[in-house]
Amino acid sequence: MDDVEVRHLPGDLPQLFDGGAGDGAPGRTLSVPLPEGDLVWPDPGYPQRQHLLRPAFWLSDEPVGGELWARFHAEHARSGLWPLLMDESDQPWAAGQIAPEPVAEIGNYHPHAFMYEVWADWAEQAADDDHDDLAPYGRHCPGPAPAGVPVDDPGAMAGRHARALAARGLSLGLVAVDRGADALAAVGWQGALNHNEWTAPLAAVLRSWEDRFGARIVALGFNTLELSVAAPPVSTRHAVHVAAEHWAFCPDILFQGPGTLAGYAEEIRGKTHWSFWWD
């Protein structure tokens, strides 16, 4: 057994559950020492999408190492708290400039429907173009790609990626969610600039990537998202199909990147982490 005794959730962490009363916390345990930090409530003067009766998440005062992220991740099943590395440089998370969305709303969205909608909107706006950038699909959305074949355990892959990202000096966030994808909505992230007003549909896509590609959300910035990937596409054909999903999720990575699905597919083929940014 670790030299740290397993105990109930320390400090104010129970307030992250069930309307802030902590009713959902009994039986939850945490054996990892909690760094100095505090609960983050949405700023009441900031535009909100729901009236939250509890804090959105907990945030450390100082940057943490990736090893600590991995230890909290290993405790998720017992604590109910998903760890995130959070960049405080551009997004003042601690100031509460966030707009949490109900996690229950995520299930109302379907990744394939979201992808088709984005594709159809683009095809309508680019009706006179030749669509070479989205070859071989052009105006015809291919739908979600087949699942990948795992090359490692998703948790182990996530831990390695967290250790690499922690070198940027990121704070630790803890979010009360059953699965990591839901953290995107629960923390009130609004980083999909000029693309999607609501976060819940993007979280639905992340759920699907968790299931098909062993993806795990590791870090968030103001307009960035970092995922580890335990089952990446390894063939060119599969990578192009996955690239089409990435484009619908975050068009900027293509249009302000390599410019074509084929070019972007080569960037992600066999890669065990995916990075997204919106402008």
Q: Tell me how crowded residue 197 is: count the other CB atoms within 10 A of its CB.
A: 9
**Please, where are the H alpha helices in the chain?**
66-74, 76-79, 111-125, 154-165, 183-186, 200-213, 236-249, 252-255, 261-268
Query: Cα–Cα distances in Å, from 216 out to 120, 159, 273?
Result: 28, 10, 9
For residue 200, what pLDDT is reported? Answer: 94
Cα distance between residue 187 and residue 62, in whole Å? 18
The answer on pLDDT for 6 being more than 70 is no
Phi-psi region of 188 (alpha: psi -120 to 50; beta: other; left: phi over 0): left
For residue 1, what pLDDT is reported? Answer: 37
- Output the six-digit token pair for 124: 């309508």
Q: Look at 26-35, 152-161, 204-213, 237-246 and tell me which has the smallest mean pLDDT.
A: 26-35
Higher pLDDT, 17 or 24: 17
Cα distance between residue 250 and residue 262, in whole Å? 16
For residue 214, what pLDDT is reported? Answer: 98
Contact yes or no for 228/215 (Cβ under 8 A): yes
Nearest to residue 72, comparing CAs of 62, 64, 82, 63?
Answer: 82
Q: What is the mean pLDDT of residues 19-47?
A: 85
pLDDT in tens, 47-84: 776 667 789 999 999 999 999 999 999 999 999 999 99
**pTM flag (> 0.85):** yes
% of the chain residues with pLDDT over 90: 73
